[in-house]
Amino acid sequence: MNVVFIMCDTLRADFLGCYGNRWIRTPNIDSLAREGALFAGCYAEGQPTLMARRALMTGRRTFPWKDDRVVPGDVLNLQPGWQPLHDEDWTIAEILRESGYWTGFITDVGQFFKPGMNFHRGFDTYDFVRGQSCDYYYSPIQGLPPRPKGRMAAGELRKASMARYRAFAGAFRSEEDFFAAQTCRKAAQWILDHRNVEKTFLWVDMFDPHEPWTPPEAYGDLYTREELLSVPYALSDRGPCRSEESIAAMRASYAGEATFVDRWVGHLLEALERSGRAGDTVVAFHSDHGTPVGHAGIPHKGGHAMYQCQSRNPLIIRHPGGLGAGKRMEALCYNCDLMPTLLELLGIAIPDAVQAQSLAGLLTGRRNALRSCVTSGYNEWIMFRDEAHLMFQRLRGDGTVLIDLKADPLEQRNIAEGNEALIGQLRRRLEEECGGLPADPGWSWPAKPEYAARFPRVWAK
């Protein structure tokens, strides 16, 4: 069998029709879910971008950030867990290549290709679509902030990133010029070019619908009036939502992004059908995390926003033999469980170093559960979720949000006050599940510029 893995960034599960959304149009992903198995309890074991992808590639946990190392050349390395592939990591691409697969990697995610990251390791071919918001591809003369001496602070980095993005995206003339479209078009061509190769593995990774939420005009117009779409929502908008109107505009732009991504996922899947290889190809669809988009008054992702709208991920697996077809799996699982799942479905031995668990037993019906709880981390924040509760707080124990998922599935009420005993119990379970927690770093991300020279951080073993 072949494998096509389709990955996107910052896509909320509940903004897809197959996960219950009734107003956003995602017909292609919904169709894939009907033909495959939908996992409703999949969570990122570590957040955001690179943590999730490293876990997916290796089948190993990144949280609780116990193996952080300095990566010169990437300021985001100051973020706990923001790590490259380490020399000792053994990735799914490397395993499949050793097993006779021709491996391909097509992406517009700039973080993969920052100095020292090495995420393209193990792929026979890799194609980097240039120009996304975090890609150091183009430096416009106009719009860049003055560069201070030394390192740039996080806010200044975001402004520079947006200046690059606007300068590059401003030249787009059609929908096909947008980054997700470019990525999926290249992936579709890769599938057609390799239709006669016996065994292939293709990893397709899109940065959309990550902010800035600027879909092609036709997609934004699907969900709101044109004047609302003029409100900018970009990497620099980190404060609380300003009004109900701003939330409506934000959600409309984001919904347009979701429909735009769906359209080009459909293009890729059509190419797979045309290739004649859909009947012997496993297709998996996933996103690294979601985003609040106004939930609890929060515009963008962060440790303080680890509600299910951010921490729960869409995961769909379509097996050519129909395993789990049409089923909705409620079992709690991690994103990294996909790696051993694919290996087991392909009949390839799972290395001993893999910490994740295969979902194949859920697909075949041999099992109906894997875990009693899941945990995650984002900078200095930690999260716990079981069947009854969702809790997240800072490592030092403040800022706690506690949700009773049975009584409040929409996560509207924080019941932390007066439930200190329960919070302590859930924190102990969190520590047990992830094998201990790192020491409190004593700061909140973004780190103050003067801390930069004092890293690497020293984390507890």
CA distances 11 to 116, 206, 286, Å, are 27, 11, 9
Q: Kindly state the tokens that stand for 26.
A: 């995602």
Is 68 in contact with 81 (CB distance < 8 Å)? yes
pLDDT of residue 36: 98
Alpha-carbon span 233 to 249, nearest angstrom: 9
pLDDT of residue 31: 98
Alpha-carbon span 89 to 348, nearest angstrom: 18
Residue type for 439, please? A
383 in a structural domain: no
Q: Kindly state the tokens that stand for 132.
A: 């996304």
Tokens 């910490």 -> residue: 355
Is 80 in contact with 380 (CB distance < 8 Å)? yes
Cα torsion at 235, 236, 242, 246 (round to 10°)?
-40
449 in a structural domain: no
Number of domains making up the chain: 1
Is 195 in contact with 276 (CB distance < 8 Å)? yes
Tokens 């800022």 -> residue: 399
Is 65 in contact with 51 (CB distance < 8 Å)? no
Is 9 in contact with 133 (CB distance < 8 Å)? no
Alpha-carbon span 436 to 461, nearest angstrom: 8
91: CATH: 3.40.720.10
The string of DSSP codes covering 93-141 is: HHHHHHTT-EEEEEE--GGGGSTT--TTTT-SEEEE----TT-TT---S
Residue type for 107, please? T
* Cα distance from N-terminal residue to C-terminal residue, the chain: 41
pLDDT of residue 229: 40
pLDDT of residue 38: 98
Is 444 in contact with 421 (CB distance < 8 Å)? no
40 in a structural domain: yes
271 in a structural domain: yes
CA distances 344 to 88, 164, 182, 282, 358, Å, are 22, 43, 32, 12, 7
379 in a structural domain: no
369 in a structural domain: yes
For 443-455, b/e burial (b = at least 16 CB within 10 A) is eebbbeeeeeeee
96 in a structural domain: yes
236 in a structural domain: yes
Is 223 in contact with 255 (CB distance < 8 Å)? yes
Alpha helices, H only, 276-407: 308-311, 338-345, 360-364
The backbone torsions φ and ψ at residue 312, rounded to the nearest 5 degrees and listed phi first, read -85, 140
Domain that holds residue 287: 2-135+173-374
Alpha-carbon span 434 to 331, nearest angstrom: 18
pLDDT of residue 344: 98
List the pLDDT tens digit at each of the 461 positions of the chain.
999 999 999 999 999 999 999 999 999 999 999 999 999 999 999 999 999 999 999 999 999 987 777 776 666 666 788 888 999 999 999 999 999 999 999 999 988 888 888 999 999 999 999 888 777 776 655 555 555 544 455 556 666 666 667 666 767 788 999 999 999 999 999 999 999 999 999 999 999 999 888 888 888 788 874 433 444 444 444 556 667 777 787 888 899 999 999 999 999 999 999 999 999 999 999 999 999 988 888 888 999 999 999 999 999 999 999 999 999 999 999 999 999 999 999 999 999 999 999 999 999 999 888 899 999 999 889 999 999 999 999 999 999 999 999 999 999 999 999 999 999 999 999 999 988 887 665 545 444 343 344 443 333 32
Query: What's the pTM value of the predicted model, to 2 decimals?
Result: 0.90
pLDDT of residue 71: 73
pLDDT of residue 173: 80
For 119-145, b/e burial (b = at least 16 CB within 10 A) is bbbbbeebbbbebbbbbebeeeeeeee
